[in-house]
Amino acid sequence: MSQPLIEFPRNTAGIWTLPNGLELIVREDHSSPVVSLQAWVRTGSIHEGEWLGAGLSHFLEHMLFKGTSRRDANEIAQTVQAAGGYVNAYTSFDRTVYWIDTPADGWETCLDVLCDVVSDSQLPEEEF
To the query of whether residue 108 is one of the catalytic residues in this protein, the response is no
Q: What is the pLDDT of residues 9-24, one digit of tens each?
A: 777 889 999 898 889 9
Considering 7, 23, 48, 61, which one is annotated as catalytic? 61
**34-127: what CATH class?**
alpha beta
pLDDT at position 1 is: 59
Q: What is the pLDDT of residues 35-89, one digit of tens each?
A: 999 999 999 999 999 998 899 999 999 999 999 999 999 999 999 999 999 999 9
Q: CA-CA distance, 86 to 115, in Å (whole number)?
A: 15
Other residues' Cβ atoms within 10 Å of the Cβ of residue 110: 24
Beta bridge partners of 41: 96
Size of the chain in residues: 128
Beta bridge partners of 81: none
